[in-house]
């Protein structure tokens, strides 16, 4: 076994670390969150670097990199905020659905534009009555000749409102079969007549924006069908290993920053005549969280290695997502205690880390869902 990055991976990591400090630093992440401002400058700089093409095959202008490079990217870009990574990662794994399931025409049409930053993608699965039970989506797409007529509503669609965005959307096309077998994936541009995206006032993703999407008699051209009719469930679940790997790497990246901040404060905050880190209750707990974070990091990179080898990784993806999100949440909760009253001020950054960590134990599949997947993997 080799626990070292290759020289190429080390160079990639160093380049990203330098990029983050210059373009997505602590103050920038804080201001985008506080002001609800989309990180447009970061998006443009990332497009210039070719980030969007990281895993796109070279024949379409991408880098054709593997999952380990993607995990490094997610960890580094999330250093000060998961949002700084998500403006790239969410569209990237949506674009991979086109890579794996799109027609040759769809690939030629969308992928080069995506790499150039002229085309965005988002995911729209969740509905008001279909959350973790994603197969229960009721947004209906009726095939009418050369188009689908779509009616329904989606919830918690991150970035759905952004310009030049296409939603990779789960729709129901057959109500008379088992629910997983009646779902179809469609590419739905957000500027079609009848589409309305309303940004939700959440306590997280303030910069990127998460939307409720309403669809009334939306005509989606049949050529926007992704895969086959009633074959959408496999498409929508097929990207989950990659999404959960991205989330796990982001948890590790931002979790490290939160832990570093807590340790730094514990070394300099003096109470009762000594730094508070000298008190056993604080020092031991921070040490334990460090160990847990390292465990989460290696689970994440083992998952990335498996994905890069094309190995089945559903259980490993759930392991990494579950452990990394839970330790991230524990780190930030302890960080709030370490900073005390100052933790509630945005200048401490801990309250932002805390809010995001709570999102990460829910978004991308709740911790309860990951535990269910793992228990079933054990044959229980």
Q: What does the alpha-carbon distance between residue 285 and residue 327 come to, in Å, rounded to a whole number? A: 12
In this structure, the strands spanning 183-189 and 225-226 are antiparallel
Indicate the pTM of the whole model: 0.96
48: phi then psi, degrees, rounded to nearest 5? -60, -35
H helix runs in the chain, sequence order:
7-23, 26-35, 40-49, 67-77, 82-101, 104-115, 232-238, 240-268, 280-308, 314-339, 350-360, 367-377
CB contact at 8 A, 142 and 148: yes
Angle at 44 between CA 43 and CA 50, to 5 degrees: 90
Q: What does the alpha-carbon distance between residue 94 and residue 188 come to, in Å, rounded to a whole number? A: 12
CB contact at 8 A, 175 and 128: no
Q: What is the pLDDT of residue 237?
A: 86
Q: 281-287: long-range contacts at Cβ-Cβ below 8 A with a sequence spacing of 24 or more?
A: 282/338, 285/334, 286/259, 286/262, 286/334, 286/338
CB contact at 8 A, 350 and 30: no
Do you know the residue count of the chain?
Answer: 380
The count of C-alpha atoms lying within 13 angstroms of the C-alpha of 146, restricted to the half-sphere facing its C-beta, is 0
Angle at 35 between CA 32 and CA 38, to 5 degrees: 45
181 to each of 191, 229, 302, how far by Cα in Å? 29, 10, 32
Query: Residue 169's beta-bridge partner residues?
Result: 124, 186
Q: What does the alpha-carbon distance between residue 54 and residue 41 come to, in Å, rounded to a whole number? A: 19
* All domains in the chain, ordered by first residue: 7-118 (1.10.540.10), 121-229 (2.40.110.10), 237-377 (1.20.140.10)
CB contact at 8 A, 165 and 159: yes
Q: What is the pLDDT of residue 324?
A: 98
Q: What does the alpha-carbon distance between residue 150 and residue 231 come to, in Å, rounded to a whole number? A: 17
Per-residue pLDDT of the chain (380 residues; tens, 9 = 90+): 788 999 999 999 999 999 999 999 999 999 999 999 999 999 999 999 999 999 999 999 999 999 999 999 999 999 999 999 999 999 999 999 999 999 999 999 999 999 999 999 999 999 999 988 989 999 999 999 999 999 999 999 999 999 999 999 999 999 999 999 999 999 999 999 999 999 999 999 999 999 999 999 999 999 999 999 999 999 988 878 899 999 999 999 999 999 999 999 999 999 999 999 999 999 999 999 999 999 999 999 999 999 999 999 999 999 999 999 999 999 999 999 999 999 999 999 999 999 999 999 999 999 999 999 999 999 99
Query: Residue 219's beta-bridge partner residues?
Result: 149
Torsion, Cα of 286, 293, 3, 241 (10° steps): 180
């Amino acid at each position: 076994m080799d626990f070292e990055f290759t020289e190429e991976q080390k160079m990639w990591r160093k380049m990203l670390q330098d990029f983050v400090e210059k373009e997505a630093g602590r103050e920038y992440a804080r201001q985008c969150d506080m002001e609800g401002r989309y990180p447009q400058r970061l998006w443009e700089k990332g497009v210039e670097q070719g980030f969007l093409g990281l895993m796109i095959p070279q024949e379409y202008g991408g880098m054709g990199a593997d999952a380990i490079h993607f995990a490094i990217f997610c960890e580094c870009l999330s250093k000060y905020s998961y949002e700084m990574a998500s403006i790239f990662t969410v569209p990237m794994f949506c674009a991979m659905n086109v890579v794996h399931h799109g027609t040759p025409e769809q690939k030629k049409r969308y992928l080069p534009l995506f790499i150039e930053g002229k085309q965005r993608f988002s995911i729209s699965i969740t509905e008001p009555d279909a959350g973790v039970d994603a197969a229960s989506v009721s947004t209906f797409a009726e095939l009418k000749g050369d188009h689908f007529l779509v009616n329904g509503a989606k919830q918690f669609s991150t970035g759905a409102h952004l310009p030049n965005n296409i939603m990779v959307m789960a729709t129901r096309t057959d109500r008379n079969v088992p629910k997983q077998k009646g779902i179809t994936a469609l590419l739905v541009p957000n500027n079609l007549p009848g589409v309305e995206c309303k940004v939700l006032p959440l306590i997280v993703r303030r910069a990127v924006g998460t939307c409720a999407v309403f669809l009334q008699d939306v005509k989606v051209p049949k050529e926007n069908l992704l895969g086959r009719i009633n074959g959408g469930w496999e498409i929508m679940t097929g990207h989950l290993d990659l999404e959960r790997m991205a989330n796990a790497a982001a948890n590790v990246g931002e979790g490290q920053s939160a832990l570093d901040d807590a340790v730094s404060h514990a070394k300099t905050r003096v109470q009762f005549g000594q730094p508070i880190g000298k008190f056993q209750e604080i020092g031991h707990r921070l040490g334990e969280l460090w160990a847990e974070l390292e465990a989460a990091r290696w689970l994440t990179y083992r998952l990335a290695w498996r994905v890069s080898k094309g190995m089945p990784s559903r259980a490993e993806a759930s392991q990494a997502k579950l452990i990394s999100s839970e330790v991230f949440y524990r780190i930030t909760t302890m960080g709030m205690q370490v900073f005390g009253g100052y933790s509630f001020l945005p200048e401490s950054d801990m309250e932002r880390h805390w809010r995001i960590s709570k999102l990460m134990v829910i978004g991308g599949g709740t911790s309860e869902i990951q535990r269910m997947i793992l228990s079933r993997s054990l044959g229980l």
